[in-house]
Structure 1
Amino acid sequence: MSTRIVVVGGGTAGVRLAQRLPVALLGEEPHAPYNRVLLADVLAGRYAPEVIALPAPLEPVRRGVRAVRIDRAARTVECDDGTEVGYDRLVLATGSNPVLPPLRGLRGSLLPSGVHPFRTLDDCLELRAVVRPGVRAVVIGGGLLGVSAARALAALGAEVVLTQQGERLMERQLDASASELLRTHVESLGVEVHTECRVSGLRQRDGAVTAVELADGFVLDAQVVVLACGVRPRIGLARDAGLDVRTGVVVDDQLRTSDPYIHAIGDCAEHAGRVYGLAGPALEQADTLADILRSEATEATEGTGATGATGATGATESAPAAATATVPAELSAPRPAYTGTRALTRLTLGGPEAGLEALDLAAFGEATPLPGDDVVQLTDATRRAYRKVVVRGDRLVGGVLLGDLAAVGTLARAWEGDEALPDAPLLHLLTHDGGS
C-alpha cells in the first residue's frame, strides 16, 4: 500500500493492525509489545516477561515515543521527542488508563510509595520487586483485574486483602452463584475478601503507604496497595485535536472518527455508544479496519472508490467518505464494515507454575434473566463446577461457566451466531458437547 498509515498505540489493537498492514507504529512503552491479559501471570511468576510478547508487526515498532499533538490540517503527529510524523491515514489505538479513585492521600497521578496501579508491564515489574512473603497487600477493586492481581500476590506469599465496593466479585461478568463460588476459591488461597465496603483514604508515613481506611472506620494495615478500579478510555489526544469524543473516541461502521482521515480502534474507540475494553473486540476492530483500508486502496487504484487520503492537501480533494462508484452497484463487493462484537470473557486464574490450582471461567451475554426467560443451571460441588445459560425464545442470550469449560466452545458459537437452538431438552446445552 502506498498510503502512509500511522498508528498511535502499541497495544493489542495497534499491533494487530500492524501485523496485517505495513504501518508506522508509535509505542509509548519502551518494551516490545506484549499481551496485557497475561500480566497477572507475569506477576505471579508463571511467565517471564518475554514470554508474553506479541508477534512482531510487519514494520519495526518505534518504542518509547509518545504522541502529544495531532495537526489535522497538516496531517502530522507531533511526538514528545520533538519529531513529526506525516500521515495519510491516522489510527488511534491509544488504549485506556487505570482509574485512580478519589481517595484521601492520593493527589492526582502522584502516588505514595507502595501504591501501584496494575496496567502496564512496568507496573507489574515494580510490584514483583517489592512483594515478598509476608508483605501486607491490599487490592482495591474486585473486578476481573483485581481478582487476578490478588491471586498473583497470594502466589508470591503476600498477605492479601481484596476489597470490593459492589455486592460481589466480578459483578459485571458473573451472576451471584458463580461469584460466590469464585469468592470461596479466592479465600481458599488465603486472600481475605471484603465486599460492599468502600475505601475512603490512605494513611502514609514519610511518603509511604501504611494503611487503607474504609468508609465504616475500619483500617487495614498495608505495605503495598494495588489499584484495580477499572480503566477509562484514553481520549486526551483525540479531544485536543477536536475529534468527537464521548466516553471514547466516537467511530462509525468504517471505524472512522469525525475526521475521515482518522480512525480509532480498541479500548479508546466508542462504536454505537459502546466501549468494549476487551481484547476480543480490539482484535476484531483491527482486522476489520485492515480490510477497510485495503478495500479503499484497491478502489482508489481501480478508480472505483474514494479519492483523497494520498497526502495531498488541495481544497478540492474529496474525503474518503465521498466515494463514487463507476461499476454497477449490483456487481460491487460490499465494503467491509464493523457492526459490533459479541464479546466473551474467558479467564484462567493461576496455574501450577504459580503454585496455585487453576480456575477457569467464561461469561458471555446476559447472565441475568428477564421475566419469561428460561434458565438452565447445573452445580457440581465435587468438581467445583458451575454452569448456567439463559435462553430467550429459541435463542441463547447469555451464560456463565466456572470450573468446567468443556461446553463453552459450542455455546459461544451458538450465541455469537445468534442461531436458533436445536429442538432438544435445554439441559443438553450444558453437557460437555454443548448439546451438539
Structure 2
Amino acid sequence: MSTRIVVVGGGTAGARLAQRLPVTLLGEEPHAPYNRVLLADVLAGRYEPEVIALPAPQEPVRRGVRAVRIDRAARIVECEDGTSVGYDRLVLATGSNPVLPPLRGLRGSRLPSGVHPFRTLDDCLELRALVRPGVRAVVIGGGLLGVSAARALAALGAEVVLTQQGERLMERQLDEQASALLRAHVESLGVEVHTECRVSGLRQEGGAVTAVELADGFVLDAQVVVLACGVRPRIGLARDAGLEVRTGIVVDDELRTSDPFIHAIGDCAEHDGRVYGLAGPALEQADALAGVLLTATADPAPITTPVTAGPAPSTAGAAPDTAPDTAGTTEGPARVTAGATEGPAPVTSGPAAVTAATADAAPVTAGAPAYTGTRALTRLTLGGAESLDLAAFGEATPRPGDDVVQLTDATRRAYRKVVVRGDRLVGGVLLGDLAAVGALARAWEGDEALPHAPLLHLLTHDGGS
C-alpha cells in the first residue's frame, strides 16, 4: 500500500487497524499494545502483562510517542519528542480518559499518593504494587469498571469498600433483580457495598490519602482509593486541529471526520450521535475502516515530508493536550459533575477472553460495507469460590406494551430476562447461566422478526432455534 497511513493511539482500535494494514502507529504508552479488557485480571495477579499483549501489528509500533498537534494543511503530525510524521491518511484512535469526580482534595490532574484511576496497564501495575492483604481500599464507582476493580482488589486480600452513587450496581446494564444478585455475589467476595452513597471528598496527610468522606458525614478509612467513575473521549487533539467534535470526534459511515483525510475510530469516535466506549465496537470500526482504506480509489498524491528529528515547528494558539476542554473533556483525567455515566470496555476472564477479543477477523475484501453502528453486548465474569458470569444487551427495562419473559433459579443463582417489542428482541439480562446468550445475541444483533414460538423458548439453551 503506497498511501502513508498514520494512526495516533495504540489501544484496541489502533492496534487492530495496524494488524490489518501497514501503518505508522504512534503509541503514547511505553508498552506494546495490550488487551484492555483483561486489565482487572492483571490487577488481581491472575495474568502478567505479557499475557494480555495484542497480536503484533504489521509494522513496529513507535512506543512512548505522544502526538501534540496536527498540521492539516501540510498533513503532518507533530509529536512531543520533537519529531513529526507526514501522512496521506490520518487515523485518530486516541481513546478515552478516566473521569475524575468533583471531590474535595482533588486538584488539577495530580492525584494524592494512593489515589489511582483504573484505565491503563500502568494504573494496574501501580495498584498491584500498593495492595497487600489487609490494605484498606475504597473504590468510587459501582459500574462495570468499579465492580471489576473491587473484585480484583479483593482477590489481592485488600479490605474493599465499593461506593455507588446510584441506587444499584451496574445500573446502566442491569435491572433491579439482576443487580441485587450481582451485589450478593460481590459481597460474598468480602467487598462491602454502599449504594445511594455520594462521595464528597478525600482526606490526606503528608500528600497521601487517609480517608474518603461521604456526603452524609460518614468517613471511610482508606490507604488506596480507586477512581472508577467512567471515561470520556479524548478529543483535544482533534478539537485543536479544528475538526468537528461533540461528545466525541464526529465521523460518518466511512469513519471519516470533517477533514476527508482524517478518520477516527474507537472510544474517541462519535458515530451517528453515539460514543460506544466498548471493545467490540472499536474492533468493528477498525475492521470497517481497513476496508474503506483498502478500497479507496481517490487517494491524494503522497506528500514527501520526512520524519524530522529536530523540534517540531510551533504555531500560535496551539494548545497542549492538558488544556481544559470546554465541552467537558480534557486530555488528562477528565472532570465532570456528579452523576457521570460509565462506558468502559466489557470485562471477561480467562484465557479464552484474550482470544475472543483479539482473534483475527476474516480478511477485509474489496467492497467491504461501510460502518453502520454496533450492537454491543456487555459480558463480565467475577471470580470467587463460585464465579458469576453475566451478560447484558439492549434495553433491559421494558416500555409499556412490551412483552417480558423472566426466569429465576435461586438455588443456582441464575437469572434470565428478555424484553420483546412487537416481533423483535430489544434487550436482555442473563446471570449465572449464559448458555442461551449466543442465540439471544444473534437474534438481537440481526434485528429480525422472531420465530412464531412461545416466548419462553427464547430463554432455553438453544434460544428457540
What's the offset of the Cα at 1:422?
Answer: 1.1
Alpha-carbon separation, structure 1, partners of 2:2 and 2:193: 55
- Work out whether 1:310 is the aligned partner of 2:302: yes
- Which AA in structure 2 matches 1:233? P
Please give the residue correspondences for 1:89-104 in structure 2 after superposition, counting only pairs within 5 Å. Answer: 89-104=89-104
- Which AA in structure 2 matches 1:343? A
Please list the CA deviations of residues 347-377 of structure 1 after superposition, one character each: whole Å capped at 9, or x if unmatched: 2123xxxx65321111111100000000000
**Partner residue in 2 for 1:15:** 15
- Work out whether 1:363 is the aligned partner of 2:373: no
- SS of corresponding position for 1:289: helix
Alpha-carbon separation, structure 1, partners of 2:203 and 2:165: 19
**Partner residue in 2 for 1:202:** 202
- Which AA in structure 1 matches 2:424? R
Contact in 1 for aligned 2:291/2:367 (Cα 8 Å): no
Please give the residue correspondences for 1:375-394 in structure 2 after superposition, counting only pairs within 5 Å. Answer: 375-394=404-423
Of the three residues 323, 337, 353, the one matched with 2:370 is: 337
Q: 1:356 to 1:38 in 2, by over 3 A?
A: farther
Gaps of 5+ in 1: 301-305, 314-332
What's the offset of the Cα at 1:307?
Answer: 4.9
**Partner residue in 2 for 1:62:** 62
Alpha-carbon separation, structure 2, partners of 1:342 and 1:368: 17
**Partner residue in 2 for 1:330:** none
Please list the CA deviations of residues 20-69 of structure 1 after superposition, one character each: whole Å capped at 9, or x if unmatched: 10000000001111001100011111111111110111111110100011
* Number of aligned residue pairs: 405
Q: TM-score scaled to structure 2, two decimals?
A: 0.86
Contact in 1 for aligned 2:3/2:299 (Cα 8 Å): no
Contact in 2 for aligned 1:155/1:356 (Cα 8 Å): no
- Which AA in structure 2 matches 1:311? I
Alpha-carbon separation, structure 2, partners of 1:236 and 1:142: 28
- Which AA in structure 1 matches 2:23? V
Contact in 2 for aligned 1:254/1:336 (Cα 8 Å): no
Of the three residues 432, 436, 439, the one matched with 1:407 is: 436
Please give the residue correspondences for 1:28-427 in structure 2 after superposition, counting only pairs within 5 Å. Answer: 28-296=28-296, 300=297, 306-308=298-300, 310-311=302-303, 336-350=369-383, 356-427=385-456
- SS of corresponding position for 2:225: strand
- Which AA in structure 1 matches 2:302? T
- Which AA in structure 1 matches 2:369? P
Please list the CA deviations of residues 92-126 of structure 1 after superposition, one character each: whole Å capped at 9, or x if unmatched: 00000000111000001110011011100000000
Alpha-carbon separation, structure 1, partners of 2:300 and 2:33: 32
**Partner residue in 2 for 1:324:** none
Aligned-residue sequence identity (percent) comes to: 90
Q: 1:165 to 1:69 in 2, by over 3 A?
A: same
- Which AA in structure 2 matches 1:136? R
- Work out whether 1:430 is the aligned partner of 2:459: yes
- SS of corresponding position for 1:204: strand
Q: 1:90 to 1:432 in 2, by over 3 A?
A: same
- SS of corresponding position for 1:45: coil
- SS of corresponding position for 2:390: strand
Q: 1:334 to 1:291 in 2, by over 3 A?
A: closer
Please list the CA deviations of residues 265-292 of structure 1 after superposition, one character each: whole Å capped at 9, or x if unmatched: 0000000110000000000000000000
- Which AA in structure 2 matches 1:399? G
Contact in 2 for aligned 1:13/1:283 (Cα 8 Å): yes
What's the offset of the Cα at 1:154?
Answer: 0.5
What's the offset of the Cα at 1:336?
Answer: 2.9
Aligned-pair RMSD on alpha carbons?
A: 1.2
- SS of corresponding position for 1:19: helix
Contact in 1 for aligned 2:162/2:194 (Cα 8 Å): yes
- Which AA in structure 2 matches 1:383? R
Alpha-carbon separation, structure 2, partners of 1:309 and 1:230: 42
- Which AA in structure 1 matches 2:303? G
Please list the CA deviations of residues 368-424 of structure 1 after superposition, one character each: whole Å capped at 9, or x if unmatched: 000000000001111111100000111100000011100000000000001111111
Q: 1:5 to 1:55 in 2, by over 3 A?
A: same
What's the offset of the Cα at 1:334?
Answer: 5.7
Please list the CA deviations of residues 146-167 of structure 1 after superposition, one character each: whole Å capped at 9, or x if unmatched: 0000011001110000000011
- SS of corresponding position for 2:100: coil
- SS of corresponding position for 1:99: strand
